[in-house]
Chains A and B, each alone.
Chain A
Amino acid sequence: EAGVVQSPRYKIIEKKQPVAFWCNPISGHNTLYWYLQNLGQGPELLIRYENEEAVDDSQLPKDRFSAERLKGVDSTLKIQPAELGDSAVYLCASSPKAGGGQETQYFGPGTRLLVL
Protein backbone atom coordinates (compact mmCIF):
# COMPACT_ATOMS: atom_id res chain seq x y z
CA GLU A 1 0.00 0.00 0.00
CA ALA A 2 1.43 3.38 -1.00
CA GLY A 3 1.81 5.88 1.79
CA VAL A 4 0.95 9.56 1.84
CA VAL A 5 2.72 11.34 -0.99
CA GLN A 6 3.80 14.97 -0.89
CA SER A 7 5.52 17.25 -3.34
CA PRO A 8 7.75 19.05 -3.64
CA ARG A 9 10.05 17.71 -0.94
CA TYR A 10 12.00 20.96 -0.75
CA LYS A 11 11.19 24.49 -1.77
CA ILE A 12 13.25 27.67 -1.53
CA ILE A 13 11.54 30.96 -2.32
CA GLU A 14 12.00 34.63 -1.64
CA LYS A 15 9.68 36.39 0.76
CA LYS A 16 6.47 37.76 -0.70
CA GLN A 17 6.42 35.02 -3.34
CA PRO A 18 3.59 32.48 -3.50
CA VAL A 19 4.14 28.77 -2.88
CA ALA A 20 1.98 25.67 -3.08
CA PHE A 21 2.26 22.20 -1.62
CA TRP A 22 0.52 19.10 -2.88
CA CYS A 23 -0.63 16.01 -0.98
CA ASN A 24 -2.02 12.67 -2.13
CA PRO A 25 -3.42 10.70 0.83
CA ILE A 26 -3.58 6.96 1.24
CA SER A 27 -6.22 5.52 -1.03
CA GLY A 28 -9.59 5.31 0.67
CA HIS A 29 -8.72 7.67 3.51
CA ASN A 30 -11.53 10.16 3.98
CA THR A 31 -9.78 12.44 6.45
CA LEU A 32 -6.82 14.61 5.47
CA TYR A 33 -4.74 16.88 7.69
CA TRP A 34 -2.18 19.60 7.07
CA TYR A 35 0.34 20.23 9.82
CA LEU A 36 3.12 22.75 10.34
CA GLN A 37 6.28 21.53 12.05
CA ASN A 38 8.86 24.04 13.22
CA LEU A 39 12.38 22.90 14.00
CA GLY A 40 12.52 21.08 17.31
CA GLN A 41 8.76 21.13 17.77
CA GLY A 42 5.88 18.76 17.33
CA PRO A 43 3.45 19.09 14.42
CA GLU A 44 0.68 21.67 14.77
CA LEU A 45 -2.61 21.23 12.95
CA LEU A 46 -3.45 23.82 10.31
CA ILE A 47 -6.56 22.32 8.73
CA ARG A 48 -8.53 19.07 8.64
CA TYR A 49 -10.74 17.81 5.83
CA GLU A 50 -13.52 15.27 5.89
CA ASN A 51 -13.79 14.31 2.23
CA GLU A 52 -13.89 17.67 0.46
CA GLU A 53 -15.15 19.67 3.44
CA ALA A 54 -12.80 21.66 5.66
CA VAL A 55 -14.20 20.83 9.10
CA ASP A 56 -11.49 22.44 11.23
CA ASP A 57 -9.50 25.39 9.91
CA SER A 58 -9.33 27.36 13.13
CA GLN A 59 -5.51 27.27 13.15
CA LEU A 60 -5.06 28.30 9.53
CA PRO A 61 -3.83 31.92 9.08
CA LYS A 62 -6.45 32.81 6.55
CA ASP A 63 -4.91 36.11 5.54
CA ARG A 64 -2.16 34.32 3.66
CA PHE A 65 -2.88 30.58 3.77
CA SER A 66 -5.49 28.73 1.77
CA ALA A 67 -6.22 25.09 1.12
CA GLU A 68 -8.47 23.00 -1.01
CA ARG A 69 -9.34 19.36 -1.45
CA LEU A 70 -11.20 19.04 -4.68
CA LYS A 71 -13.07 15.76 -5.21
CA GLY A 72 -12.13 14.69 -1.71
CA VAL A 73 -8.80 13.13 -2.64
CA ASP A 74 -5.70 15.25 -3.34
CA SER A 75 -5.17 18.49 -1.47
CA THR A 76 -3.20 21.67 -2.04
CA LEU A 77 -1.97 24.11 0.59
CA LYS A 78 -1.00 27.57 -0.59
CA ILE A 79 0.80 30.50 0.98
CA GLN A 80 0.57 33.93 -0.61
CA PRO A 81 2.61 35.92 0.10
CA ALA A 82 5.20 33.92 2.01
CA GLU A 83 6.97 35.47 5.00
CA LEU A 84 10.30 34.62 6.59
CA GLY A 85 8.51 33.04 9.55
CA ASP A 86 6.79 30.52 7.27
CA SER A 87 10.03 28.57 6.94
CA ALA A 88 9.16 25.14 8.34
CA VAL A 89 8.18 21.63 7.33
CA TYR A 90 4.62 21.23 6.08
CA LEU A 91 3.29 17.76 6.77
CA CYS A 92 0.25 16.12 5.31
CA ALA A 93 -1.44 13.18 7.03
CA SER A 94 -4.48 11.04 6.38
CA SER A 95 -6.67 8.64 8.32
CA PRO A 96 -9.45 6.32 7.24
CA LYS A 97 -11.94 8.30 9.29
CA ALA A 98 -11.92 10.69 12.25
CA GLY A 99 -13.03 8.16 14.81
CA GLY A 100 -14.54 4.75 15.42
CA GLY A 101 -11.13 3.17 15.89
CA GLN A 102 -10.01 4.36 12.46
CA GLU A 103 -8.43 7.60 13.54
CA THR A 104 -4.79 6.58 13.20
CA GLN A 105 -3.00 9.29 11.26
CA TYR A 106 -0.34 8.40 8.71
CA PHE A 107 2.09 11.11 7.73
CA GLY A 108 3.72 12.02 4.47
CA PRO A 109 7.42 12.92 4.19
CA GLY A 110 6.69 16.64 4.33
CA THR A 111 7.71 19.65 2.29
CA ARG A 112 10.60 21.61 3.74
CA LEU A 113 10.09 25.30 2.97
CA LEU A 114 12.80 27.92 3.23
CA VAL A 115 11.81 31.55 2.76
CA LEU A 116 14.70 33.92 2.09
Chain B
Amino acid sequence: GENVEQHPSTLSVQEGDSAVIKCTYSDSASNYFPWYKQELGKRPQLIIDIRSNVGEKKDQRIAVTLNKTAKHFSLHITETQPEDSAVYFCAAGGTGGGNKLTFGTGTQLKVEL
Protein backbone atom coordinates (compact mmCIF):
# COMPACT_ATOMS: atom_id res chain seq x y z
CA GLY B 1 0.00 0.00 0.00
CA GLU B 2 0.85 3.67 -0.03
CA ASN B 3 3.31 5.11 2.48
CA VAL B 4 3.62 8.86 3.06
CA GLU B 5 6.46 10.46 4.97
CA GLN B 6 6.29 14.08 6.09
CA HIS B 7 9.02 16.41 7.33
CA PRO B 8 9.64 18.28 9.50
CA SER B 9 7.44 17.26 12.40
CA THR B 10 7.71 20.75 13.89
CA LEU B 11 8.53 24.04 12.23
CA SER B 12 8.93 27.43 13.83
CA VAL B 13 9.21 30.59 11.71
CA GLN B 14 9.08 34.29 12.27
CA GLU B 15 6.04 36.18 11.04
CA GLY B 16 6.55 37.18 7.43
CA ASP B 17 8.99 34.39 6.67
CA SER B 18 8.27 31.45 4.39
CA ALA B 19 7.53 27.91 5.53
CA VAL B 20 8.13 24.74 3.55
CA ILE B 21 6.81 21.27 4.39
CA LYS B 22 7.88 18.24 2.40
CA CYS B 23 6.29 14.87 1.78
CA THR B 24 7.31 11.75 -0.08
CA TYR B 25 5.07 8.93 -1.24
CA SER B 26 5.75 5.40 -2.37
CA ASP B 27 2.97 4.37 -4.76
CA SER B 28 3.53 5.64 -8.29
CA ALA B 29 -0.18 5.09 -8.98
CA SER B 30 -1.13 7.92 -6.61
CA ASN B 31 -2.40 10.89 -8.57
CA TYR B 32 -4.10 13.15 -6.04
CA PHE B 33 -2.26 15.10 -3.31
CA PRO B 34 -4.25 17.28 -0.91
CA TRP B 35 -2.98 19.33 2.00
CA TYR B 36 -5.06 19.84 5.14
CA LYS B 37 -4.73 22.34 7.96
CA GLN B 38 -5.94 21.28 11.39
CA GLU B 39 -6.20 23.65 14.32
CA LEU B 40 -6.29 22.23 17.81
CA GLY B 41 -9.55 20.41 18.46
CA LYS B 42 -10.97 21.23 15.04
CA ARG B 43 -11.62 19.39 11.80
CA PRO B 44 -8.97 19.03 9.08
CA GLN B 45 -9.64 21.65 6.40
CA LEU B 46 -8.45 21.40 2.83
CA ILE B 47 -6.17 24.29 1.93
CA ILE B 48 -4.88 23.22 -1.46
CA ASP B 49 -4.62 20.11 -3.60
CA ILE B 50 -2.79 19.07 -6.73
CA ARG B 51 -3.30 16.36 -9.28
CA SER B 52 -0.53 14.51 -11.02
CA ASN B 53 -1.11 16.16 -14.37
CA VAL B 54 0.35 19.46 -13.07
CA GLY B 55 3.64 20.28 -11.39
CA GLU B 56 2.67 23.37 -9.42
CA LYS B 57 -0.42 25.09 -8.11
CA LYS B 58 -0.72 28.38 -6.29
CA ASP B 59 -3.47 30.04 -4.29
CA GLN B 60 -2.53 33.41 -2.85
CA ARG B 61 0.16 32.75 -0.21
CA ILE B 62 0.02 28.99 -0.55
CA ALA B 63 1.63 26.89 -3.26
CA VAL B 64 2.20 23.19 -3.79
CA THR B 65 4.78 21.58 -6.04
CA LEU B 66 4.83 18.00 -7.24
CA ASN B 67 7.72 15.96 -8.60
CA LYS B 68 6.26 12.71 -9.89
CA THR B 69 9.62 11.26 -10.85
CA ALA B 70 11.02 11.67 -7.37
CA LYS B 71 7.64 10.99 -5.74
CA HIS B 72 7.69 14.04 -3.55
CA PHE B 73 5.52 17.10 -3.08
CA SER B 74 5.87 20.21 -0.99
CA LEU B 75 3.74 22.91 0.58
CA HIS B 76 5.03 26.47 0.51
CA ILE B 77 3.51 29.22 2.63
CA THR B 78 4.83 32.74 2.04
CA GLU B 79 4.46 35.80 4.25
CA THR B 80 3.41 33.66 7.18
CA GLN B 81 0.98 35.07 9.73
CA PRO B 82 0.18 33.98 13.30
CA GLU B 83 -3.12 32.50 12.09
CA ASP B 84 -1.14 30.07 9.94
CA SER B 85 -0.10 28.31 13.14
CA ALA B 86 -1.63 24.82 13.05
CA VAL B 87 -0.84 21.22 12.16
CA TYR B 88 -0.53 20.57 8.44
CA PHE B 89 -1.09 17.14 6.91
CA CYS B 90 -0.16 16.00 3.45
CA ALA B 91 -1.91 13.06 1.86
CA ALA B 92 -1.57 10.93 -1.23
CA GLY B 93 -4.19 8.91 -2.99
CA GLY B 94 -5.57 7.91 -6.29
CA THR B 95 -8.82 7.57 -8.04
CA GLY B 96 -7.60 4.16 -9.13
CA GLY B 97 -7.61 3.14 -5.50
CA GLY B 98 -11.08 4.44 -4.91
CA ASN B 99 -9.83 7.73 -3.52
CA LYS B 100 -8.22 6.15 -0.49
CA LEU B 101 -6.01 8.80 1.08
CA THR B 102 -2.90 7.98 3.08
CA PHE B 103 -1.90 10.82 5.37
CA GLY B 104 1.47 11.94 6.60
CA THR B 105 2.16 12.29 10.31
CA GLY B 106 1.71 16.04 10.32
CA THR B 107 3.82 19.17 10.79
CA GLN B 108 3.21 21.48 13.72
CA LEU B 109 3.80 24.98 12.32
CA LYS B 110 4.29 27.82 14.75
CA VAL B 111 4.48 31.37 13.47
CA GLU B 112 6.10 33.62 16.03
CA LEU B 113 5.60 37.35 16.28
Binding between chains A and B: yes
Q: Which A residues contact B (CB, under 8 angstroms)?
A: 3-4, 31, 40-45, 48, 50, 55-56, 91, 95, 98-101, 103-110
| Count, chain B residues at interface, CB 8 A | 24
Q: How far is the CA of A73 from the CA of B93 in the complex (A)?
A: 24
A104 cross-chain contacts in B, Cβ below 8 A: 34, 46, 49
* Residue of B4, B49, B95, B106 touching A100 (CB-CB under 8 A): B95
Q: Contact flags (1/0) for B62-89 with A, using CB distance below 8 Å?
A: 0000000000000000000000000001
Q: A104-B34, A107-B43 are in contact. Are A41 and B105 (CB under 8 A)?
A: yes
A-B contact pairs, 25 of them (CB 8 A): A4-B43, A41-B105, A41-B106, A42-B103, A42-B106, A45-B100, A45-B101, A48-B99, A55-B98, A56-B98, A91-B43, A98-B95, A99-B98, A99-B99, A103-B95, A103-B99, A105-B46, A105-B99, A106-B46, A107-B36, A107-B43, A107-B44, A107-B45, A109-B43, A110-B43
Interface of chain A, helix or strand or loop or mixed? loop
CA distance A50 to B95 in the complex (A): 13
Whole-angstrom distance between the alpha carbons of A31 and B42 in the complex? 22
Q: Contact check, A31 vs B99: say whether CB atoms are below 8 A apart.
A: yes
CB-defined contacts of A31 to chain B, threshold 8 Å? 99
A60 shortest CB reach to chain B, Å:
13
How many Å lie between the Cα of A87 and that of B12 in the bound state?
29
